[in-house]
Amino acid sequence: MIARPMAEPTLAQRLLDGDRRALARAITLVEDNRPEGWELVREVYPHTGRAEVVGFTGPPGAGKSTLIGALTKARREAGRTVGVLSVDPSSPFTHGALLGDRIRLSEHFLDPGVFIRSMANRGALGGLSEAALQAALLLDAAGREDVFVETVGVGQAEIDIIDHADTIVLVLMPGSGDSIQALKAGVMEIPDVIVINKADHPLTDTMVREIRGVLSLANLERTPEEARALWRVPIVKTEASLGRGIAELVQRLTEHRAHIVAAGELERRRARNLRGEVLAIATARLRHRLEEDLHADPEFQRLLTEVVRRRLDPASAATALLEREGPLSAR
Amino acid sequence: MIARPMAEPTLAQRLLDGDRRALARAITLVEDNRPEGWELVREVYPHTGRAEVVGFTGPPGAGKSTLIGALTKARREAGRTVGVLSVDPSSPFTHGALLGDRIRLSEHFLDPGVFIRSMANRGALGGLSEAALQAALLLDAAGREDVFVETVGVGQAEIDIIDHADTIVLVLMPGSGDSIQALKAGVMEIPDVIVINKADHPLTDTMVREIRGVLSLANLERTPEEARALWRVPIVKTEASLGRGIAELVQRLTEHRAHIVAAGELERRRARNLRGEVLAIATARLRHRLEEDLHADPEFQRLLTEVVRRRLDPASAATALLEREGPLSAR
């Protein structure tokens, strides 16, 4: 009897089985904005929601990649599989601020239990963050138990990938004066966990005190009931390059997860995040289509010339453009 | 003979005559998103384009308000009229990070040659920055020769008011390590002028050297022709609270203006900014309308529930929503 070739498993099946090459291929598809990529996410989406997604944000140079590398090591030792997504919004002239940091994750490159991917392609429809969101869902569907998402904390993007995380970690270093001022002024949101990396620096403890001050100020604004139910944001000192403080960070992350699960907050957070994602994707697509339409539209060029010549103001030009565009925009 | 009452001048006429109360009223109208406000901007727009608009950005606490106060004093002594717009994106719990800083501008409150306005209202259609853009046009139309726009450098907004400026000044202080890292990594754009305020700090000169390093790195990426035509970003050390360094800053701002005028760059910059503003206003309105539609749409609630239950992925939900919304979105 001649052995008949078995039917090739589909990309979705291989991805759900945790096949690394399938995962890599799938992320490339969403990064390149290929219809098969979107279709794939649609297909595997029912298998998502199992990963514990932790987002790392903070200024460039604080050591986020090194920290994630150390954390990955700890999670591997605990027998868990890890996916890392580095989302790099830096300008083309620096050729990727975070891509260079991948080197710091290189000790994990040969471990099949770790999957690392950097994304910096801005060409995609809806932008980098939309593709990153799809990639995070793919990592989740592929059975990665921990998904670490790294991004520079400069919320420029319409769809901020950090909003997809269950737990948000702000990584600072001694010298992160601007970030502390931004927390104090309320222009940066209070995260779930604060890490001060490079904590061998003599100014570390001064910094811890400053942050404690900011956090207690934020608490003053809450009612006593809110304050009791509230997660107390821990400040963890680390020296990620030496592995110091990582055990404590793992502990705090575990506690935060237990807290949001017990309080029903995890579900609420995810529902809110998903709602925001749907709206953000829809808006990004509308804008993309508007820009495409305008690019080919001689009337847009005429209106712009009128604006530049100070004969038509920008808001009236926007109104005129939207009137040309159909029902959603014409009202 | 009985004196007949003269026809009341319109709000637009009074604004164009430089009437301060008319200006204050007009800005309130755009801030409250009243149709009369938009109509007014439309009417006076042909009289804009004369003001020299300088934008000040940088982390909270760097002393932007104090610097603008000192600069305002210098410009008044040179006989020029000044308008100041503080745009405050901080969270409600701090009750306005910049509003408190208005006190630092208080010495100018009684001078009719200075008009100061803080904007922090997020309720407006299209958001704070769109209203701030309209307000900047109103200050320009009212004949303010210098318009200073202040905002925290955390480009969250879709329409960044700083993009309306002819000259962009980044205000740092010793301790602004995060901002320097962000410049270095290319996640923050290189401004036209860099100010290091609070320059009595012993670490100021170290900081100047670090910034010089970043700037020369950015220059390496340019062709020799680009580099020759290029504006060399000056670093100005100030102690704004004592008026120190302000004369040099005035000098550098004047030089930058001469540079962009001579090179034809001012016109190019304004044309590019106006184009961006038209697109940003149109997009903000599309999103606002989409959100309004969805709010009242039971089908949206049904789709969201499907997403939360992991039966429908966010991108497919966005597609389904846009299909309900009409031609611009349905293609």
Task: Express each pLDDT in B294-331 by its tens digit.
Answer: 888 898 899 999 999 999 999 999 999 888 876 554 43
Mean pLDDT of A185-196: 89
What pLDDT shows up at residue B108?
77
The mean pLDDT of chain B is 86
C-beta separation of A212 from A235 below 8 A: yes
What pLDDT shows up at residue A329?
46
User: Which residues in chain B are closer than 8 Å to A329, comparing Cβ atoms?
Assistant: 282, 285-286, 289, 328
What pLDDT shows up at residue B155?
44
What pLDDT shows up at residue A104?
60
Q: Which CATH superfamily is domain A47-266 in?
A: P-loop containing nucleotide triphosphate hydrolases (3.40.50.300)
Strand partners, B54: B148, B167
Number of H helices, E strands in chain A: 13, 7
Share of chain A above pLDDT 90, in %: 56
Q: How many CB atoms lie within 10 A of CB B66?
A: 20
- Is the Cβ pair A308, B271 closer than 8 Å? yes
Residue with tokens 């405050």: B88
The residues spanned by each domain of chain A are 47-266, 283-330
Cα–Cα distance measured from residue A58 to residue A161, given in angstroms and rounded to the nearest whole number: 13
Provide the Cα torsion A103, A107, A113, A116; round to 10°: 0
CATH tag for B46-282 (out of 2.30.40.10, 3.40.50.300, 3.40.1260.10, 3.30.465.10):
3.40.50.300
Phi, psi dihedrals of residue A53, rounded to the nearest 5°:
-100, 120
Interface residue A1 vs chain B (CB under 8 A): no
Taking alpha carbons only, the member of A93, A68, A97, A161 closest to residue B182 is A97
Is residue B318 classed exposed, middle or buried when 0-12, 13-18 and 19+ CB atoms within 10 A define those classes? buried
Tokens representing B307 are 């997403």
C-beta separation of B194 from B236 below 8 A: yes
Cα–Cα distance measured from residue B182 to residue B95, given in angstroms and rounded to the nearest whole number: 27
What pLDDT shows up at residue A315?
92
Residues 85-114 of B with CB under 8 A from A: 89-94, 97
For A176, nearest residue in chain B (alpha carbons)? B178
What pLDDT shows up at residue B124?
45
User: Which of B40, B187, B197 would best serve as a mutation to test chain A binding (most A beta carbons within 10 A)?
Assistant: B187
Considering only residues B86 and A15, tell me which one the structure prediction assigns the higher pLDDT: A15
Among A224-228, A269-273, B123-127, B161-165, where is mean pLDDT lowest? Answer: B123-127
The distance of A57 to chain B (nearest Cα, Å) reads 13
DSSP state of A147: E
Cα–Cα distance measured from residue A170 to residue A201, given in angstroms and rounded to the nearest whole number: 18
Residues 25-84 of A with CB under 8 A from B: 38, 41-42, 45-49, 59-62
The distance of B200 to chain A (nearest Cα, Å) reads 17
The distance of B77 to chain A (nearest Cα, Å) reads 31
Q: Looking at the partner chain, which of B41, B154, B310 has a beta carbon nearest the beta carbon of A48?
A: B310
A100 pLDDT above the threshold of 50: no
User: Which residues in chain A are closer than 8 Å to B271, comparing Cβ atoms?
Assistant: 304, 308
User: Which residues in chain A are closer than 8 Å to B211, comparing Cβ atoms?
Assistant: none
A193 pLDDT above the threshold of 50: yes
Farthest-apart Cα atoms in chain A, separation: 83
Q: Looking at the partner chain, which of B93, B317, B321 has a beta carbon nearest the beta carbon of A186?
A: B93
A327 pLDDT above the threshold of 80: no
What pLDDT shows up at residue B225?
66
Is residue B216 classed exposed, middle or buried when 0-12, 13-18 and 19+ CB atoms within 10 A define those classes? exposed
Taking alpha carbons only, the member of A132, A135, A193 closest to residue A167 is A193
Task: Express each pLDDT in B129-173 by its tens digit.
Answer: 788 889 999 999 999 999 999 987 654 444 577 778 999 999 999
Strand partners, B169: B56, B193
Low-confidence stretches of chain B (pLDDT beneath 50):
92-100, 123-125, 155-158, 329-331
Q: Looking at the partner chain, which of B45, B133, B176 has a beta carbon nearest the beta carbon of A178?
A: B176
What pLDDT shows up at residue A128?
73
The mean pLDDT of chain A is 86
Cα–Cα distance measured from residue A232 to residue A244, given in angstroms and rounded to the nearest whole number: 22
The distance of A298 to chain B (nearest Cα, Å) reads 14
A37 pLDDT above the threshold of 70: yes
Mean pLDDT of A151-166: 68
Interface residue B137 vs chain A (CB under 8 A): yes
Q: How many cross-chain Cβ pairs, A to B, lie less than 8 Å apart?
A: 255
A297 pLDDT above the threshold of 90: no
What pLDDT shows up at residue A330?
40
User: Which of A159, A162, A181 would best serve as a mutation to test chain B binding (most B beta carbons within 10 A)?
Assistant: A181
What pLDDT shows up at residue B142?
98
User: Which of A94, A290, A313, A322 would best serve as a mutation to test chain B binding (most B beta carbons within 10 A)?
Assistant: A313
Strand partners, B85: B117, B149
Considering only residues B174 and A324, tell me which one the structure prediction assigns the higher pLDDT: B174
- Is the Cβ pair B59, A177 closer than 8 Å? yes
User: Which residues in chain A are closer than 8 Å to B93, comparing Cβ atoms?
Assistant: 186, 218, 221
What pLDDT shows up at residue A136?
95
Cα–Cα distance measured from residue B300 to residue B253, given in angstroms and rounded to the nearest whole number: 51
What pLDDT shows up at residue B94?
47
Tokens representing A151 are 């991004």
A137 pLDDT above the threshold of 70: yes
What pLDDT shows up at residue A31?
87
A110 pLDDT above the threshold of 70: yes
- Is the Cβ pair A90, B48 closer than 8 Å? no
Question: Which SS3 state, helix, strand or coil, does residue B86 take?
Answer: strand
C-beta separation of B158 from A158 below 8 A: yes
What pLDDT shows up at residue B93?
47
The distance of B172 to chain A (nearest Cα, Å) reads 9
